[in-house]
Amino acid sequence: MAAMASTRFLVQSSRASGRRHLHRSKTGTKHVAPCVVAAAPCSSLHTYSARHRAQVSCTSTLSKDLSVLAALQSTKAYDGSTKEGWSSWEVMASAFLAIAATGSFLVGSSMTSPSFSPPKIIHRGGGGGGSGGGSGGSPVPIGDTKEEEEVAIMIDDGGRDKYQVSIQAIRGGRLTMEDEYFVTNGGRFAAVFDGHGGGGVSSLLRDKLFKLMNQNLRASQELHGPFHRPSLSSSVAALRSAFQQIDAEVLLDDTLQYQGSTAVAVLVHEGDDGHKTILSANVGDSRAILSRSGQAVDLTRDHKPNDEREKARIMAMGETIEWDHYCKVHRVRNLSLSRAIGDRFAKPVVTGEVEIKHFPQADGGDEFFLLASDGVWDVMSSQDVVDFVHKQLDSVPKSGLLSQEDADRMLQTRRQNMSHAVAKEALRRGSGDNICVVLVWLDDST
C-alpha cells in the first residue's frame, strides 16, 4: 500500500505540473500528457536567451519524467479492477507520453534555432482601420513584445547630440502584426506605420520613406551648394515628395491593391541659427503628440471619416459614410480611416495626401514627443498619455530616500522603458488592436 501511495503521489504531482504548464501557455495549446511544457514553438522572433531558458526547462522536465518512470517500474502495479487510482497501463502510458512529448519539443527547438540575433528593425502589425485581418506579417503569440532603444543610423549626425529613445511594439488581439517603425539620426527622425490588409505597404514605408526624403534633400543641397544646411521649407518639400513617391509606387503594384498603411513621422529640424522646429507629417489615424510643460499638444490630426474636414471632403465627392455597429466606428469604402498610403481600391476617396505641420520647439518646456498607432488612441486621449508618463516619472523615489546616483539610474531606466509602460497601459484599458509606441525624450532633466 505504501508503494501504491507513493506511485499515486508521483503521478498526481506530474499531472499537477502539466496543469501548471498548460495554464501558463498563451497559445491555447492543450496536452493530454502530464509534465509537457505547453509553450509556443520557437520562432525567429525569439531571442537566444528565451530559447535557452525553454530548453533548460525542458531538460529539467525530462529528468523529472525519467525519475517518475523509474519509480513506476519498481512499484507494484494496481489491480485493474480497483476503483481507486490508475491502472498500470494508464500510469506507464502517461509517463511514456510525457517523455516523448518533452523530447520532441527539445528536438524541435534545437532544429529551429540556427540564429539567435533579433532583427534590427522590428516588423510589427496592426491593421489600424483596415477592412480585413490581412495576409502580411507572421503570426506571433499574443503579448509577444520586442523593444529597442534605436534603429540603425542612416546618415551622419553632424556631431549633434542624440535624444534618448524608447520603443515598444506589442501584438494585441490581431492574428498578424503589420505595425512598423523607423528611428534614425539620434531620434531626430521617427515614424510609425500601421498597415492593414497585409504588411506590404507598412514595410515599404519603413524601408523607403526616410531614404527618399534624404535623397530629395541631397538633390536640394546640390542646387544650393554642398555646405548648405536644408531649410525648413526644403525639408517640408522633401518629406512631402517622399510620401507622394511611395504612394505612387504602391498604386502601381497590383499585389498591393487591397493593402494600405497609415504613416506618421516627426522630424526635428535645426536651422543655421540653432533654432529647432518640430515637423509632423501624417496620413491616417496614427498620431503624434508633444508634451509641453505637462500639457499635451497634438502634432497631427486623426484622419477619420467622421472628422469634420474629412467628412466635408468625402461628401463633396458624392461618397457616403457608414456607421459600423459591430466595431463602433465610421467607415468609408469599408475602411475606418479617410487617408492612407495605398488602398488602391478605395482611391480617390481614401486619399494618400500627407498633412504636414510645424511647431517651434520651446526652450526648456518641451519634454518629449510620442508617436503611436491607433491601438493606443482607441483607449487613451493625448492628455491621458502625457499624464500617465509624468505619473510614472513622479513615482521614482526622490534622492532623499536613495543616493543621487541610484535615483538618477532609476529615472533613466524608467525613461528607457516608458514606451513599454504606455503600451501595457493601453492593453490594460481594453485596447484590442496591435500597439506600436515610439517616445523621444527632448529634455534630459524630465
Which of 19-23, 168-172, 329-333, 368-372 is the least confident region? 19-23
- Highest mean pLDDT: which of 92-96, 157-161, 403-407? 403-407
The pLDDT of residue 446: 56
Q: Is the pLDDT of residue 113 over 80?
A: no
Give the 3-state secondary structure of the chain.
CHHHHHHHHHHHHHHHHHHHHHHHCCCCCCCCCCCCCCCCCCCCCCCHHHHHHHHHHHHHHHHHHHHHHHHHHCCCCCCCCCCCCCCHHHHHHHHHHHHHHHHHHHHHHHHCCCCCCCCCCCECCCCCCCCCCCCCCCCCCCCCEECCCCCCCCCCCCCCCCCEEEEEEECCCCCCCCEEEEEEHHHCEEEEEEEECCCHHHHHHHHHHHHHHHHHHHHHHHHHCCCCCCCHHHHHHHHHHHHHHHHHHHHCCHHHCCCEECEEEEEEEECCCCCEEEEEEEECCCEEEEEECCEEEECCCCCCCCCHHHHHHHHHCCCCCEEECCCCEEEECCECCCECEECHHHCCCCECCCEEEEEECCCCCEEEEEEECHHHHCCCCHHHHHHHHHHHHHCCCCCCCCCHHHHHHHHHHHHHCHHHHHHHHHHHCCCCCCEEEEEEECCCCC
Instruction: Please give the model's pTM, rounded to 2 decimal places.
Output: 0.67
pLDDT digits (tens, 9 = 90+) for 364-412: 899 999 999 999 999 999 999 999 999 999 987 765 677 888 888 889 9
